[in-house]
Chain A
């Protein structure tokens, strides 16, 4: 008999099926997990910025181009945009009441977060490439 994968939904919820919102727990977990990741990552980033306050352009680029630093920065950006997206969706759901407005506001938030996220990743890659040639 195969082992059932862990399901965090309560038994009654599984029996009754998904409620009116059709989903929500993933949102809740995503928010908590990204928050846990963000605690060390964001503190590290703020401290690094503090150390590099008076660094010039070259120093910063070379610093980010290092494998661990660049990766940590990319991880920070990823968790940051995911966490922000989830938070903004909650705000939209709470304050925008018309279904039309709600749908398009969430669409806008998604576009905003995904767009800036992709842009940030591109920037980090660009910096990494620049840093190896300096």
Chain B
């Protein structure tokens, strides 16, 4: 029987750092947001297909499961937005030194958490 060739340990041994963790989170939040897109289309559909459709939509939007998903999407949105801007600065050539990278990284986390909380407190 053919065994796959062994790989030296990587993920299980490399120490997680702010840089790598934020990077994979950026990708993960992007993936979450692409599923969130379905909700956006659903919302548009509820509006487009008449008042009865909208009533159905409101019932869906009031469930706890949906609100949990929406909370996850809110954080993902603000995180992806903040880290995305960080990426754009890198693309323009700014902020590559380690100190700035770490500072901007913490700023992104702060931005995402605080705006998520603000948005949800505001909407209560």
- Cβ distance A112 to chain B, nearest Cβ, rounded Å: 9
Closest-CB distance, B121 to chain A (whole angstroms): 11
Can you pick out 6 interface pairs between chain A and chain B where the beta carbons lie within 8 Å of each other? Answer: A80-B37, A84-B33, A120-B40, A120-B41, A120-B44, A124-B44
Decide if B30 is an interface residue (CB 8 Å cutoff): yes
7 closest A-B pairs (Cβ-Cβ)? A126-B48, A123-B48, A123-B44, A57-B54, A84-B34, A87-B30, A127-B48
User: Is the beta-carbon distance between A35 and B47 smaller than 8 angstroms?
Assistant: no
**Out of A46, A64, A119, which one reaches B45, CB within 8 Å?**
A119
**Is A10's beta carbon under 8 Å from chain B?**
no
**Contact in complex: A119, B41 (CB < 8 Å):** yes
B interface footprint on A91-134 (CB within 8 Å = 1, 0 otherwise): 10000000000000000000000001001101110110010000
- In chain B, what residue has the closest Cβ to A83? B30
Query: What is A's interface to B at a CB cutoff of 8 Å?
Result: 32, 35-36, 39, 42-43, 46, 50, 53, 57, 60-61, 64, 77, 80-81, 84, 87-88, 91, 116, 119-120, 122-124, 126-127, 130
Q: Tell me the nearest residue of chain B to A128, going by C-beta.
A: B48
Select one of B38, B45, B49, B88 contacting A35, CB under 8 A: B88
Least Cβ distance of B46 to chain A in Å? Answer: 9
Point out the residues of chain B lying under 8 angstroms from A88, CB to CB: 31, 34
Given A42-B77, A57-B54, A91-B31: A116 and B41 interface contact (C-beta under 8 Å): yes
